[in-house]
Chain A
Amino acid sequence: MLTYAVKRIGLGLLILVFVMVTMYAAVFLVPGDPATVALGPRATPELKRLLTERMGLDQPVWWQIIEFFRNALTGNLGYDVWSNRPVSTLVLEALPNTLILGTTALMTALILGVPLGCLAVVKRGTLADHLIGVLSVAVIAVPSFVVAIYSLLLFAVTLRWLPAIGAGEAGDIGSQVRALILPALAIALGWIGYISRMVRASMMEVMNEPHIRTARSFGLPEWKIVSKYALRIAIIPTISLVAVGLGGILSSAVFVEAVFSRPGIGKLITDAVNTRNYPVVMGTVLMMTAIYVSITIAADLLIARLDPRVRDVFRG
Chain B
Amino acid sequence: MTASLTVENLSVRYRTPHGSVHALRHVNMEARPGEVIGIVGESGCGKSTLVTALANLLPANASVDGSIRYGALDLTGLDERHRRALRGDEIALVGQDPMTAFNPVLTIGDQLIDFQHHRKDIGRADKKNRIADMLAKVGISDADRRMANYPHELSGGMRQRVAIAAALLTDPGLLIADEPTTALDVTMEAQIIHLLRELRREYNGVIIVVSHHLGVIAELCDRVYVMYAGEVVESGDVDAIFHDARHPYTRALLACDPARFHERLERLPTIPGSLPSLTQLPVGCVYAPRCADCFEPCPVHPPPVVRLSADHAVSCHGARA
- A residues touching B (Cβ–Cβ < 8 Å)? 209-221, 224, 228-229, 232-233, 306-309, 312
Q: Are the C-beta atoms of A220 and B88 separated by less than 8 Å? A: yes
With A209-B100, A224-B114, A312-B152 known as contacts, the answer to whether A217 contacts B55 (CB < 8 A) is: yes
10 pairs, A vs B, C-beta closer than 8 Å: A213-B95, A214-B103, A215-B111, A216-B87, A218-B114, A218-B166, A219-B85, A219-B117, A220-B88, A224-B117
C-alpha gap A231/B95 in the complex (Å): 23
List residues of B (100-119) whose CB comes within 8 Å of A's CBs: 100-106, 111, 114-115, 117-118
**Extra 19 A-B pairs, beta carbons < 8 Å, given A215-B103, A232-B105:** A209-B100, A210-B100, A210-B101, A211-B102, A211-B104, A213-B57, A215-B114, A216-B57, A217-B87, A217-B93, A217-B95, A219-B118, A220-B114, A221-B84, A228-B114, A306-B105, A308-B105, A309-B104, A312-B153
Q: Chain B interface residue count: which class?
A: 20 to 34
Cβ proximity bits B254-292 to A, threshold 8 Å, 1 near / 0 not? 000000000000000000000000000000000000000
C-alpha gap A233/B152 in the complex (Å): 15
Using Cβ atoms and an 8 Å threshold, which residues of chain A touch B242? none
Q: Does B234 contact A (CB under 8 A)?
A: no
The answer, among A210, A229, A312, for a CB contact under 8 Å with B95, is A210
Q: Identify the closest chain A residue to B149 (Cβ).
A: A308
> From residue B124, how far is it (CB to closest CB) to chain A in Å?
15
Q: Which among B88, B105, B114 has the greatest number of chain A C-beta atoms within 10 A?
A: B105
The answer, among B102, B150, B152, for a CB contact under 8 Å with A214, is B102
Q: Are the C-beta atoms of A233 and B88 separated by less than 8 Å? A: no
Q: Are the C-beta atoms of A229 and B88 separated by less than 8 Å? A: no
Using Cβ atoms and an 8 Å threshold, which residues of chain B touch A214? 95, 101-103, 163
The answer, among B88, B97, B152, for a CB contact under 8 Å with A217, is B88
Using Cβ atoms and an 8 Å threshold, which residues of chain A touch B105? 232-233, 306-309
Using Cβ atoms and an 8 Å threshold, which residues of chain B touch A306? 105
Q: Identify the closest chain B residue to A211 (Cβ).
A: B103
C-alpha gap A233/B102 in the complex (Å): 12
Using Cβ atoms and an 8 Å threshold, which residues of chain B touch A213? 57, 95
Q: Does B92 contact A (CB under 8 A)?
A: yes
Q: Does B86 contact A (CB under 8 A)?
A: yes
> From residue B156, how far is it (CB to closest CB) to chain A in Å?
14
Q: Does B11 contact A (CB under 8 A)?
A: no
Q: Identify the closest chain B residue to A232 (Cβ).
A: B105
Q: Does B231 contact A (CB under 8 A)?
A: no
Interface of B is mostly: loop
> From residue B149, how far is it (CB to closest CB) to chain A in Å?
9
C-alpha gap A118/B280 in the complex (Å): 39
C-alpha gap A128/B102 in the complex (Å): 30
C-alpha gap A100/B124 in the complex (Å): 40
Using Cβ atoms and an 8 Å threshold, which residues of chain B touch A219? 84-89, 117-118
> From residue A223, how far is it (CB to closest CB) to chain B in Å?
12
> From residue B93, how far is it (CB to closest CB) to chain A in Å?
5
Q: Identify the closest chain A residue to B55 (Cβ).
A: A217
Q: Are the C-beta atoms of B152 and A232 separated by less than 8 Å? A: no
Q: Does B170 contact A (CB under 8 A)?
A: yes
With A211-B100, A211-B101 known as contacts, the answer to whether A217 contacts B106 (CB < 8 A) is: no
Give 5 closest A-B pairs by Cβ, nearest first: A218-B88, A219-B88, A219-B87, A218-B115, A210-B100
Q: Are the C-beta atoms of B57 and A217 separated by less than 8 Å? A: yes
C-alpha gap A216/B83 in the complex (Å): 11
Using Cβ atoms and an 8 Å threshold, which residues of chain A touch B93? 217
> From residue A123, how far is it (CB to closest CB) to chain B in Å?
14
Q: Are the C-beta atoms of B88 and A308 separated by less than 8 Å? A: no
Using Cβ atoms and an 8 Å threshold, which residues of chain B touch A210? 95, 97, 100-101
C-alpha gap A177/B92 in the complex (Å): 53
List residues of B (203-240) whose CB comes within 8 Å of A's CBs: none
> From residue B274, how far is it (CB to closest CB) to chain A in Å?
26
> From residue A147, how far is it (CB to closest CB) to chain B in Å?
35
The answer, among B104, B118, B163, for a CB contact under 8 Å with A233, is B104
Using Cβ atoms and an 8 Å threshold, which residues of chain A touch B97? 210
C-alpha gap A84/B31 in the complex (Å): 90
List residues of B (182-197) whose CB comes within 8 Å of A's CBs: none
